[in-house]
């Protein structure tokens, strides 16, 4: 595909450019979340204990997180098309190794390659948008992150239905075929170019220094870290456990609630992204949208901390919806830097956010483990109150940091 030398891309060209980058997060999240559904099969087939299952799961996220800074450099140097094709090929190789694994080491290596291969599922789309759709970052970012929510939905009840029919290896082979189809779509729809190789590799690598020293990153990063970190911790682990231990939901009720949470999460990204785009076009601050969503998210958490169980489902749905507002930080940070730094700026923020997801997930677990367990292997309801309160505190500190940094910046 080629773009006109001059003038704005047409609506059709914009849609075609975004299609592969919107599909990338869908496949990423199915691979990411479906592991939990096949874990019992893996445990039985390979005689894995809980620690081994946890290790195989976590290496995906470790590889994903550690790939962020090299990824930003590659996207800025080689462009979205070449980088994405290389990473998709890596993901396909990892998936095939996982599917044909003979032992735990094959499973681990397969998950590592998958983590590396899926590491660009958000940042490659942000880079492509900054190159070919300038001024459209808020709405494009909302589509990219919202697509991840769609992938999460597919990875719950729908993928469970597939596993009811197909063996886990066959089910993952179908997903790998979808990744191969995405490789073909990228090949034909994503334009060439977009890389900046005029300088040396070392010079481009040192470009991370000004980014990490810039107020354009650190003024906004804590809100993204606290919002996405806490929201992801709830969605991936602690919300279903709260529903089990505090609201006494059945497994089926939990599954449908989680499906709904991922659905409204996707919707929230589209809504807040659309509002952010409108604010940008009118010359208004996107931070108004982000802070409003942030405060509503904290309000939902306060009600959950107070154990308003009769409103458990709507509270968790609205919490998931409003947590999506934190992702609107990405275009704010990206547009604080020149376009040739777009991928490195976004991947730097993503690296910090991903680190916060790990830290918050672990921190909540530490708080909950500090209380005696409830009967039946459940966690104490009181422990969730303190854990949620800790998450709210982190978010309040992030807001205070942002307001103070804005005031200091105005006074300079």
Highest mean pLDDT (candidates 62-71, 162-171, 372-381): 162-171
pLDDT at position 128 over 80: yes
Highest mean pLDDT (candidates 28-37, 131-140, 166-175): 166-175
How high is the pLDDT of residue 255? 78
Domain 10-192 has what CATH class? mainly alpha
Averaged pLDDT, 306-335 = 90
CA distance 143 to 132: 16
Q: How many CB atoms lie within 10 A of CB 120?
A: 32
Same fold, 10-192 and 207-412: yes
Q: How confident is the model at residue 137 (pLDDT cuts 50, 70, 90)?
A: confident
Q: Lowest mean pLDDT of 4-13, 216-225, 228-237, name the range.
A: 4-13
pLDDT at position 281 over 50: yes
What percent of the chain lies above the pLDDT cut of 90? 35
321 vs 49, higher pLDDT: 321
Averaged pLDDT, 106-132 = 91
Comparing C-alpha atoms, which of 399, 385, 407 is closest to residue 295? 399
Extract the tokens encoding 135.
């001024």
Averaged pLDDT, 268-296 = 87
Mean pLDDT of the chain: 85
- Residue range 358-369, pLDDT digits in tens: 788 778 888 888
- Residue range 241-257, pLDDT digits in tens: 898 889 998 877 887 88
CATH, range 207-412: 1.20.1250.20
The model carries a pTM of 0.76
Q: What are the domain boundaries of the chain?
A: 10-192, 207-412
How high is the pLDDT of residue 6? 41
pLDDT at position 4 over 60: no
Averaged pLDDT, 298-307 = 94
Q: How confident is the model at residue 5 (pLDDT cuts 50, 70, 90)?
A: very low
302 vs 14, higher pLDDT: 302
Are 310 and 253 contacting, i.e. CB atoms less than 8 angstroms apart?
no
* CA torsion through residues 188, 191, 197, 201, sign: negative
Averaged pLDDT, 391-397 = 95
Comparing C-alpha atoms, which of 391, 364, 356, 367 is closest to residue 229? 356
How high is the pLDDT of residue 35? 81
CA distance 224 to 319: 15
């Amino acid at each position: 595909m080629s773009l006109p030398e001059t003038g704005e891309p047409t609506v059709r060209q914009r849609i075609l450019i975004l299609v592969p980058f919107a599909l990338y997060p869908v496949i990423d999240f199915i691979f990411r979340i479906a592991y939990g559904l096949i874990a019992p099969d893996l445990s039985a087939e390979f005689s894995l204990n809980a620690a081994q299952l946890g290790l195989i799961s976590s290496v995906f996220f470790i590889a994903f997180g550690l790939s962020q800074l090299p990824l930003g450099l590659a996207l800025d140097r080689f462009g979205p098309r070449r980088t994405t094709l290389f990473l998709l090929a890596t993901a396909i190789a990892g998936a095939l190794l996982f599917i044909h694994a003979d032992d735990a080491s094959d499973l681990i290596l397969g998950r590592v390659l998958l983590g590396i291969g899926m590491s660009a599922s958000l940042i490659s789309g942000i880079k492509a948008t900054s190159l070919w759709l300038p001024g459209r970052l808020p709405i494009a970012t909302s589509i990219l992150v919202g697509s991840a929510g769609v992938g999460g939905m597919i990875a719950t009840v729908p993928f469970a239905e597939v596993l009811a029919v197909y063996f886990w290896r066959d089910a993952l082979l179908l997903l790998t075929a979808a990744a191969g189809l995405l490789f073909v779509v990228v090949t034909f729809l994503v334009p060439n170019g977009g890389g900046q190789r005029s300088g040396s590799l070392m010079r481009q690598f040192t470009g991370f220094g000004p980014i990490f020293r810039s107020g354009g990153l650190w003024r906004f990063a804590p809100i993204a870290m606290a919002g996405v970190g806490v929201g992801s911790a709830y969605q991936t682990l602690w919300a279903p456990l709260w529903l089990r231990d505090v609201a006494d939901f059945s497994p089926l009720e939990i599954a449908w609630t989680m499906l709904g949470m991922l659905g409204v999460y996707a919707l929230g990204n589209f809504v807040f992204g659309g509002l952010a785009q409108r604010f940008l076009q009118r010359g208004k601050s996107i931070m108004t949208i982000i802070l409003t969503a942030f405060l509503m998210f904290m309000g939902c958490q306060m009600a959950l901390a107070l154990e308003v169980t009769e409103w458990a489902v709507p509270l968790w749905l609205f919490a998931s919806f409003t947590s999506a507002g934190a992702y609107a930080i990405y275009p704010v940070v990206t547009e604080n830097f020149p376009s040739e730094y777009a991928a490195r700026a976004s991947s730097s923020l993503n690296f910090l956010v991903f680190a916060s997801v790990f830290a918050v997930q672990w921190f909540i677990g530490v708080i909950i483990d500090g209380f005696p367990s409830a009967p039946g292997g459940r966690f104490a309801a009181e422990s969730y109150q303190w854990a949620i309160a800790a998450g709210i505190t982190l978010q309040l500190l992030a807001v205070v940091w942002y307001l103070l940094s804005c005031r200091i910046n105005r006074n300079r």
